[in-house]
Each structure stands twice: as structure tokens, then as C-alpha cells.
Amino acid sequence: MQEKSYLVEREVWVENRLGIHARPASQILNLARQFEAEILLEKDGSVANARELLSVLALDCPQGTRLVVRAKGADARDAAHAMVQLFARKFGET
Amino acid sequence: MSATRVLTGIPASPGIVVGRARVVSDFGDLQATFRLLYTDRERQAEVRRFKEAVEQAQADLSRLRDRVAAEFPEHTHLLELHLLILTDQMLHDEPLRLIREENLNAEWALHRAYERVRELFSRIEDPYIRGRIQDVESVYRRLMGILIGQSPRRLIPTGDKVILVARDLSPAETTQMAGSGVVGFITERGGRTSHTAILAQSFEIPAVVGVDNAIKEIAPGEELILDGLSGRIILNPDQGVLERYRRRQAEFAAFREEVTTNAAEPATTPDGFATRVMANIELPEEVHLVGRYGADGVGLYRTEFLFLRLRHLPTEEELFEDYRKVVASLAPRLVTIRTLDIGGDKFLHRNDYVPEMNPALGLRAIRFCLRERDIFRRQLRAILRASAYGRVRVMFPLISSVQEVREAKALIEEVKGELRREGHPFDEEMPVGAMIEVPAAVTLCQMLAPEVDFFSIGTNDLIQYALAIDRGNKQVAAMYQPLHPAVLRMVLQVVTAAGVSGVPVAMCGEMAGDPLHLPILLGLGVAELSMNPLAIPVIKRVIRSITLAEAQAMASRVLEMVSVEEINDFANLFLKERFPEIYRFGSALAGI
């Protein structure tokens, strides 16, 4: 039986001081791996797959960047929610 | 048999090791070969070869991470990052696609994929994020090394007693040395306070940096002695030299072991004169050294790093978070925060701040802060707010008049008022101090004393200004003499004036961490010293073994001497006779 698939979009802001550098990018990746849903991060038309560390880094997101989280799949809602939380926690940084 | 040769550099991490050179040249040597694949079998073989290389790199990195985690858990993150990069789409899936679809051999496929990542990263505007290309490159080199088979584990050679020789080493590469076969390293670039040097000290891997032409001069496989105490590298040592250094090595190990015992206990002279021995810190990584080497607190927390590292002017929150972390993690120990000690040209990109002809005499430190009050207020607010999380005191660098102290204190009062209204907690009694490092401040210290809660003599600048010596100028560097009679008289003048007002005197700067100077400084009445954390155990040991009376007698004798040579001889002789071990090794730990 085909599971129901959702498409969820959420806006997030990069609030930590150093932006999405290596550590936040690793956290994004590790979080994305916990979900079935495909999770994309979009910045001004450029898109990175949250599971791809280097693409996420190359998106170039310093502090103050606005991103759209786009999750697609059975657990898209949970995935998008978790991603929003991670950004809101500033990746545990300042 | 070739002759023994000696190279010299800057001692970056103390210790002596004997080993064989492993010269890590730049990537230019690791040329990727180009070959086209014609058959399915070839393609399958190439895919397998690539996957095996990734597996080997993964195994190497994981093993390394586990080793580092056992001893230095705070340093594993770079290795974790490299593991993630190894299986990233761009550096893993893409080369596989290039092999399968474009018939490229593994090396060239990897090379193409890496070049694309590099191109992509070069367009990143944020310098901090762009800098991560270093880590991608490190993983790329590792993987390519395995594929080429030239040197399967390029940067962490196994085997015994490898001494790494490189143009430069990144902090990531230095981290990889912990627990590997590398017993020491030599680089052409870098200084004693570089990040890499600090990591080496933290791993206790001896290192010499700033060695000109090391790569050209040292042959791969050559036997050498690395003396991280003196900064000397002895190539092709003969038996006699080897034996001498082996003895020195064993003695140093025993010495280090002995001095670090009880380092955390307070240092009081046998006749009951209690001192405080504090640490100088700058980088966040150094906080753990404070506990490790038994510092009684931080006597100098340099705050320039954040201003220099960020691409923007740090916000109050950013400053506060940094200070709070340091203060809270060291509580209840005292943390002395020095306000900004640089000029605007170092971090403000404005036309009115261009590099100065003579920055040592220019608009920097307190002068700059009083000119750019918004920046100063921001830092003062952050420092005050951090004071709620532990014990903080603040000090102003480069004070040359009473007026400057008053203006700075008035700003503190204003800022306190704001914080009160905003409901931010802070320490109402936070002590405020003046750094004494300009001769004018020495002359005025009687007038400065009633204005402040403490003095801190910054010897590096004071000696430079008092003797008119630029240490960076090789023509006169030898004339930079901490025990110069003029310098000692200045110290005495400060201590005396402060004593009248009951203001405590601290000393930070390299002079404070050298066991050679210690008895004289104690005798002059300096009761608090702040230094490179590594030097602390040695200094405490000396304090515990000489009486204040003895130190005072020394100081008065020295004050009668007219030449610095005479004073140096006297101090050296004393140290040599009373503390032969410290005489031999102590200065190296002081980081001099």
C-alpha cells in the first residue's frame, strides 16, 4: 500500500553567529538522515539537499540568511518541524 | 655519511624527540593520472577500486577518531567532519558517476569532482564557510593518496617515531597527529601562538615552527633530533650528539613530570608570602589548559581574537557569549579581561582606519576605544554582563594618563546604569584596573593608584617603550632586556606607589613567566604573575622553594647593579645553582 506523501514548506532563519559552517551542516545532515522524507533547503532559488553536507555548505548561509525548508514524503511534517527546531536552537551555538 | 647540520626555528611546543623525517610536500606531487576506460569490466574494477579506497580512508579516520576520543574528546569534531565529507554526494557519488558514465579512471574522476567542489566553494562569500574547503582538500588528499598508492596514509604515517616536516599544517592535520605515529613536527610557517602550536602543546607533541626552507633542507627518511625546547633541529646527528640529546630528553620528561605534581596547589614561599600564579589566554581552546597546568585564575584574557576572526563587528551578544563561557567554565577562579588592544585598521573596513606608519605609537587600545565609544560600550556591557557568571575584573591597556582612566570608568558607570534599567544582572563591585605598560603610566602611578582597584604591568610593551626597542627588528632585538636596570626600577616604582594606596600589582607579559626573573620580581614585591599556562608549574615550584627574605635580598643587590649584563649573570648564576633542572628547561616552558 502506498503511504500518503506530504509536501511541507517552512521558513527558517540562520541565527547563529558563524552561519551554516561545518558543524551546523553536519547537524542538518544527521537530522535529515533520521527521516524518510526528502528535505531540501532553498536560498534565493538555489537548492541543496539537506543530506549533502557540501551542497549545504556551498549554499553560503551566513548569519541572517533566510531559507525555505521543503520536505516531501510520508514523514515530511515531522521532518520539517524538526528542522525548524534545529534552526531555532541555533544549532546549539550562539 | 653526510655531516651533521643544524636548523633553527621557533620552539612551538616543548619536548625533545628523535625520529626520522617524513616530508609532506604540497599537493603538487600527488598528480592524478588520466586514463579512459573502455570495457564494462574495467569500469567495474575501477568502481571497486574507488569504493575500497573510500573504505580504507573511512577505516583510517574512524580508528584515528577513536584514538583521539579516548584522550582528547574535545578535538574529535574535525575527524567526524572528514568522515562525513568522505561519503558526501559531491566527493563520493559524483566520482562514481564519472567512472560509470564518462569512462574516467578513479583518480581522474576524483580529481574532476574535487575541482568542481573547489570551484563551487570559491564562489562562497562568507570567508568562514569558504574556509571549509581546507577540510575537503584534506579528505581529497587522503583519498587520492590511497588511490595512487604513493603513501596510503599521507598525513598520519604509521611506523615508529615519525617527525613530520611540512610547509604548513592546518589545525585539522595537527589534530590527526594525536595518537598517530607522529612524535613531533616541523613547519616552515607559523608562530608560537598560532592555532597549530597551541594544539601541539595541548597534545604534548614537540614542535618547531618557522623553520626556513625546512622542506628543502631535510631529506625524507633522514634521522633528526627535534628540540622543541630550544627550537633546534639537528640533522644526521652522530652518536655522541644523539646520546646527549637522549639524556636531555629523559631528564626533561622527568622534570616535567615532577614540576606538574601539585601544580594546582597555591604557591606560597616557605616564609609565608602568598602569591597568585595566573594564566594568559586568548583562544577558547586554551580554557582547559588553565586547569591542567594549575593556574589560580586568568591574569590576562586577550579579547582581540573575536574582533579579528569575524567578518563583522561582533555584536554585544556575541561578545557576551564568549566571555560568559570562559568566565562560567573557570568560576570561581578570577578572570581578568583586557579590553580591546588593537587599532581600527585591524578589523574596521573604513577609510579613516588605514594601517599606520608606527602602530605601536598609534591609535590603538584604550585610545581607540575612547574614540570609538560605541564599540567600547558594547564590549564593556558584554564584560559586565559576563561578570554575573563568575569572578571578573577588567583592565584597560596602554593607559598613559589619569584622564583616560577616568573616562573609561565613567563609561563603565554609564553602562552599569543602562544594565540596571534593563534588568541585566552584573557584579556591582567588578574591579577595574589599569595596565602599566607606557613609561608615562609608571611615572604617574601614584596618581593612577587611587583611581583603580589594581595594576597590571604589561612587560612586553613596557620594555619596548622604556628601552625604545622593536623586538621585530633584528638589528636591535638583542637589546630587548627584561632585567635592564631601567625596567627593574620602573617595576619597583609601580609596586612602591601602589603599596602606598594599597593597590595590588600584577604582572603579565613574558617576563612574568620566566623562572630567571622570578626571584627578583618577588623580591621587588610583585605578588601576582600571569603567564603562558605551560610555565605555571615551574614558576610555582620556584616560589615554593625560595623565601621572600631571600628574594628581597636578591632584589636589593640587583638594584645596586648598573649594567644589565651584571644583572643577567647574577640571575643566571642563582638559577643555575639553586635550580639546575629549571635552569636547563624552565625557560622553554615559559615559551620564550
Range among B50-64, B69-83, B275-289, B339-353 with highest mean pLDDT value: B50-64
In the predicted structure, residue B29 carries a pLDDT above the cut 60? no
Up-side HSE of residue B365: CA atoms within 13 Å toward CB?
22
Cα–Cα distance measured from residue B235 to residue B2, given in angstroms and rounded to the nearest whole number: 9
Please confirm, yes or no, whether B195 is among the known catalytic residues: yes
Cα–Cα distance measured from residue A16 to residue A94, given in angstroms and rounded to the nearest whole number: 5
In the predicted structure, residue B410 carries a pLDDT above the cut 80? yes
Cα–Cα distance measured from residue B502 to residue B280, given in angstroms and rounded to the nearest whole number: 24
pLDDT at B216 (0 to 100):
86
Angle (nearest 5°) at CA B162 between B215 and B581: 100
Q: What is the pLDDT of residues B162-187, one digit of tens each?
A: 899 988 887 767 777 776 778 999 99
Domain ranges of chain A: 6-92
In the predicted structure, residue B150 carries a pLDDT above the cut 80? no
| CA distance, residue A40 to nearest chain B CA (Å) | 14
Active-site annotation holder among A10, A15, A21, A81? A21
Q: Pick from A30, A3, A26, A25: which is nearest to A14 by CA?
A: A25
- Does the domain spanning B263-589 belong to CATH 3.20.20.60? yes
Domain ranges of chain B: 1-27+154-241, 31-153, 263-589
Contact of B19 with B183, CB cutoff 8 Å: yes
Range among A43-47, B140-144, B169-173, B381-385 with highest mean pLDDT value: B381-385
Chain-chain contact of A29 with B77 (C-beta, under 8 angstroms) = no
| CA distance, residue A17 to nearest chain B CA (Å) | 7
In the predicted structure, residue B50 carries a pLDDT above the cut 90? yes
In the predicted structure, residue B239 carries a pLDDT above the cut 70? yes
pLDDT at B192 (0 to 100):
65
Of A23, A57, A60, nearest to B77 by CB-CB distance is: A23
Contact of A94 with A17, CB cutoff 8 Å: yes
Largest separation between any pair of C-alpha atoms in chain B: 91
- In eight-state DSSP terms, residue B339 is P
B31-153 with B263-589: one CATH topology? no
Long-range Cβ pairs for the range B199-203 (8 Å, 24+)? B199/B75, B199/B171, B199/B174, B199/B175, B199/B285, B200/B12, B200/B13, B200/B174, B201/B12, B201/B13, B201/B14, B201/B289, B201/B534, B202/B72, B202/B75, B202/B285, B202/B288, B202/B289, B203/B72, B203/B174, B203/B177, B203/B178
More confident residue, B590 or B436: B436
Mean per-residue pLDDT over chain A, rounded: 92
Looking at the DSSP bridge assignments, the partners of residue A66 are A13
Q: Which helix (H) or strand (E) holds A89?
A: none
More confident residue, B308 or B448: B448
Residue B333: strand, helix, or coil? coil
In the predicted structure, residue B28 carries a pLDDT above the cut 70? no
Contact of A27 with B84, CB cutoff 8 Å: no
Q: Residue B157: pLDDT band by 50, 70, 90 thresholds?
A: low
Residue holding cell 611615572? B443
Residue holding cell 577558547? B284
The percentage of residues in chain B with a pLDDT greater than 70, rounded to a whole number, is: 93
B440 and chain A: CB distance < 8 Å anywhere?
A: no
Q: Which residues contact B340 (CB under 8 A, 6 or more apart)?
A: B303, B304, B307, B365, B368, B369, B375, B376, B379, B397
pLDDT at A2 (0 to 100):
53
pLDDT at B365 (0 to 100):
95
Q: H helices within B214-357, ranges in order?
A: 214-217, 239-260, 287-292, 304-309, 316-330
- In eight-state DSSP terms, residue B468 is T
Angle (nearest 5°) at CA B142 between B141 and B144: 65
Residue holding cell 581529497? B140
Contacts of B322 in chain A (CB under 8 A): 94
Residue holding cell 576524483? B110
Interface size, chain A vs chain B, as Cβ–Cβ contacts under 8 Å: 65
List the end-to-end C-alpha distance of chain B, in Å, as a whole number. Answer: 35
Overall residue count recorded for chain B in this entry: 592
Chain-chain contact of B124 with A58 (C-beta, under 8 angstroms) = yes
Q: How many helices (H) and strands (E) does chain A have?
A: 3, 4
Chain-chain contact of B129 with A62 (C-beta, under 8 angstroms) = yes
Mean per-residue pLDDT over chain B, rounded: 88
Of B120, B126, B317, nearest to A62 by CB-CB distance is: B126
Contacts of B85 in chain A (CB under 8 A): 53-54
pLDDT at B587 (0 to 100):
65
Chain-chain contact of B123 with A60 (C-beta, under 8 angstroms) = yes
pLDDT at B2 (0 to 100):
65
Q: What is the pLDDT of residues B6-18, one digit of tens each?
A: 999 988 888 999 9
Q: H helices within B298-372, ranges in order?
A: 304-309, 316-330, 365-371
pLDDT at B152 (0 to 100):
40
In the predicted structure, residue B153 carries a pLDDT above the cut 50? no
pLDDT at A1 (0 to 100):
47
User: For domain B1-27+154-241, which CATH number applies: 3.50.30.10, 3.30.530.20, 3.40.50.1820, 3.50.50.60?
Assistant: 3.50.30.10
pLDDT at B48 (0 to 100):
95
Please confirm, yes or no, whether A81 is among the known catalytic residues: no
Contacts of A54 in chain B (CB under 8 A): 85, 88-91, 117, 120, 136
Up-side HSE of residue A22: CA atoms within 13 Å toward CB?
20
By a Cβ cutoff of 8 Å, what residues of chain A touch chain B?
17-23, 26, 29, 49, 51-55, 57-58, 60-62, 94
Residue holding cell 548561509? A61
pLDDT at B101 (0 to 100):
93
Q: What is the pLDDT of residues B520-533, one digit of tens each?
A: 999 999 999 999 88
CATH number for region B31-153: 1.10.274.10
- Strands of the sheet containing B10-13, edge to edge, are B5-8, B232-235, B223-227, B16-24, B162-166, B182-187, B207-209, B10-13
- Strands of the sheet containing A46-49, edge to edge, are A6-13, A66-73, A38-43, A46-49
| Domain A6-92: CATH class, spelled out | alpha beta
Q: Pick from B562, B550, B553, B505: which is nearest to B529 by CA?
A: B505
Comparing B60-69, B189-198, B239-248, B562-571, the range with the smallest average pLDDT is B189-198
